[in-house]
Chains A and B, each alone.
Chain A
């Protein structure tokens, strides 16, 4: 029996008071008043992801435990779920009567501002054509490295996991439509999450997606060697290239949205809740500006040094959806012609995180602090030029923001406590070169994802480590 949207809509779900008992975990409240469609407000998706770390408080039953292979372990996993979440899950299953017929939820892997994600066993896996199942399709290519992995493969035949994304009912149908439609368009890449199916009952929409085993970013970001980082970045840029080629901006590139399995060297880009299609109706001055930016005039500008108290002028508005610390300069400068390059910037921030071994690198509690932090790195001159590019003025009198800023290499050196005895390796220097090209303030000079994949840093990976090839589909 096919399990599809239409069918589910006919399910006899009694709409009672306990209709979808959404547990109090739900974070719809939102740190920004919950208005995420407003261009200026909200959309700060710090805590939305399919992954664990931003997840429920009960996420000690982490995917790293659960993703182990055996069915028997599942029951363990269920026991691990704290009662509260279990209750939530029960209620959730109840709200979709036949959901438990198809899926058995074994844990909650993530909770965001706009949705919750559960890990579930795909009980009826065998009845369907499962094009989405990359493990199945590519398992023969895997070079089993350990007994455990082999075991994994053999058992996997029996137990298939999916991620169930429960989109909160306060999301508009248009927003949900946007996300699902983009997901649908984005099928076919190994590095981008696919959509197995989705359905709705009343206002509750559920999306079923493949479950990806992955490791918490904070568990490995300091441990990765340069070749590992190269693999990570190649995987990420492969995903970005695919997404960008479809004219789609992800808008929320960050480690928690890139589920990376270190052992396989494969990552999957998830969460297109903030994604949008690239539009060309922006009017930012950066569109028509030619490349020739002259050197910024001397800094002794007649800065205003103040602002009108009762400024009646309207606020400049631009989409700023994304996560703090990962927003590109053009987003902070309210460019209204943002391009896919904003994702490249965010990817660059991830690379900076790896190289500096600092996470998060930018704290950026808000956009103002974000600009300050960015200026601390890049200096006033470059910030002013970048601001001017987007029709903005930049002035500051913060003493720790220097004229010229610091080079990224210097920052990495400092962050990793290098000295003469312990200089940057040539590998690291190569990585820094790549980093400079992705963390370029001027988005026009910033690498595109496909350009990035042409860079030596992503093409010349130490063969020892790259046996698990990242494929471009």
Chain B
């Protein structure tokens, strides 16, 4: 009982509680949320009905960090009377509370979802003047502290409880998720069994949705009558359960493990729920973290305005930080269930995501399929000269070609050569080079055919990098997934160039007699252009050249560094100089002389942390009024100056 005390100190606790108690345990199964709804997280509670405030059911709830619901439930119901109004955090929890007779547990469970957001919501609600509750700061602080204490107690409690639980994962879960959860649960000293046995298992974890097929999909338009609490807020979740129950009743399929579990009075938890539980158990609770409502609200409001739910009352908007998240979740689930919204990989891919499902995957990349994996342009071991990066194709011999060719046209010839070599390589399974003379001949002939082929194609890696960089420059806060999308979009075009190059490069080392094959014969000898290297004393001098390349390419983004490049050219050996010159020439050509030759100061774009602004030209920016205002205001440097004053150089 003691662990609940702090909760009841929170405003509205009692209120919610009473509300909860007033509501019948079971509601008629009705309009399913279809795919829109979250999984039936709380089915177990429903079945078990009301056990009183301090029954074991409570254990399965999680305390919210702060619960500040308005005291006027009826009003809220009215507010939410539109069925398509998304459940706000408040409405949701309230309705949930209303819906579930297992009152405290119910409510706690609902809060569980919003646990993190609630603090923000609480902060937000403290500002509301329309609310019937006006909470003073210190109250809020106190409430937060108490609430945090409640969470800590909850954590302590569950750390004791988990070792007594036995989990079983049903088939609907992915292997990865099972493995992860198994690890996490074992870390909590719980038992995880691979075999389902009714006597032993206490909890079943499922990823299923349990949506009965006969229910209308478009439940949003299904009703327009008066408010039914369960359609709001918690209804989002409950409906699920309802429908699942309905399913149970209608199709009492005893082969269904969940049905069996139900009969055996086991708890059925969704993966989301168990993940939330685990993450909450591991969460650190700090009393002093209090997001300021000022920071949260404007953006929140803005986002809400954009949604179709703008008609929701201000009250809801202000209060409900979780709304946005909920919408997101729903959207996500919807998109997940709809194959149209799911992108399916067609080629080799890599994806790293968040196991908890709270975040979107942060590493996604797909590559083209090649019959020979070594033709693929993803990073893989490449056989190349000692000293070189093992993941980068060796460009050595390209230069020896260059040397022998008329330097100015060499690059142009390559493009065509690549294609031919590509064809040849595909035909041949071996990596045997053609006679050298032949290739030279080929080159010179292509030279005439396609003299204007852009050299950009020879630098596929750089260009990818460059593109990505540019994207990032324009959107500083670009997320990983966005980047990936950009990349995927560009992949096709770039890949072609890249692959062409790979093939030709793969050919070249052989031709030059530098066929450095190590013991791992499986590794194919290939070279890559971005690493155009110098046969100098230094290994990996290619970085110089890489840098050069980058700068050259930076020109296309506005960063012209004519003099830099010239200077740097001196630093690298002649062959490279030749190559780079050719490249520059070609670049100039391709950019139709937008580069003035003697441009000295080139605008350097960037981001100023002090002005919190992007600038196009560093030098302009740092003398701009705005920046100078910052620079000349010593108040901005108080802390730094204090430190600097301790750093004076001691005199003898």
Contacts and interface: CB of A to CB of B under 8 A. Distances in A.
Interface of A: 2-6, 9, 15, 17, 19-22, 24-38, 40-42, 47, 53-54, 57-60, 82, 84, 126-129, 131, 169-177, 180-181, 184, 195-200, 202-203, 205, 208, 216, 218-219, 221-222, 281, 283, 285, 287-290, 292-294, 296-298, 300-316, 332-334, 356-369, 371-373, 375-376, 384, 387-389, 391-401, 411, 413-419
10 contacts: A29-B606, A281-B284, A283-B279, A303-B176, A372-B379, A387-B355, A397-B347, A400-B381, A414-B519, A418-B518
A219 B538 contact: yes
Contacts of A359: 387, 389, 539-540
A4 B649 contact: yes
B386 A358 contact: yes
A285 B282 contact: yes
A359 B473 CA distance: 28
B390 A129 contact: no
B213 interface: no
B590 interface: no
Contacts of A310: 331, 335, 341
B624 to A, nearest CB: 11
Interface in B324-368: 327-329, 331-332, 335-336, 341-345, 347-365, 367
Contacts, number: 443
Given A35-B476, A315-B479, A361 B618 contact: no
Contacts of A418: 518-519
A286 B646 CA distance: 39
A121 B344 CA distance: 61
Given A200-B637, A394-B352, 7 more contacts: A4-B647, A180-B644, A283-B284, A303-B174, A315-B479, A360-B389, A371-B352
Given A360-B389, A367-B363, A373-B391, A129 B650 contact: yes
B175 A300 contact: yes
A208 B364 CA distance: 43
A301 B345 contact: no
B634 to A, nearest CB: 8
Interface of B: 174-180, 182-184, 186-187, 278-279, 281-284, 286, 327-329, 331-332, 335-336, 341-345, 347-365, 367, 373-374, 376, 378-381, 386-392, 461, 464-465, 468-469, 472-481, 483-484, 516, 518-520, 523, 537-541, 543-544, 547, 550, 554, 559, 561, 563-565, 567-568, 570-571, 600-602, 604-610, 614-615, 618-619, 621-623, 627-628, 630-632, 636-637, 639-641, 643-652
Given A60-B571, A175-B609, A302-B174, A357 B519 contact: no
Contacts of A394: 176, 351-352
A464 B607 CA distance: 51
B629 to A, nearest CB: 11
Contacts of A40: 477, 479-480
Contacts of A311: 332, 335, 360-361, 481
The 8 A-B pairs with the shortest beta carbon distances in the complex, nearest first, are A301-B175, A4-B648, A34-B607, A203-B631, A5-B644, A57-B568, A316-B359, A172-B609
A60 B570 contact: yes
B336 A308 contact: yes
B390 A415 contact: yes
Nearest to A366: B468
Contacts of B623: 17, 19
A361 B381 CA distance: 10
B504 to A, nearest CB: 20
Contacts of A401: 350
A287 B539 contact: no
B374 to A, nearest CB: 8
A3 B648 CA distance: 7
Contacts of A82: 567
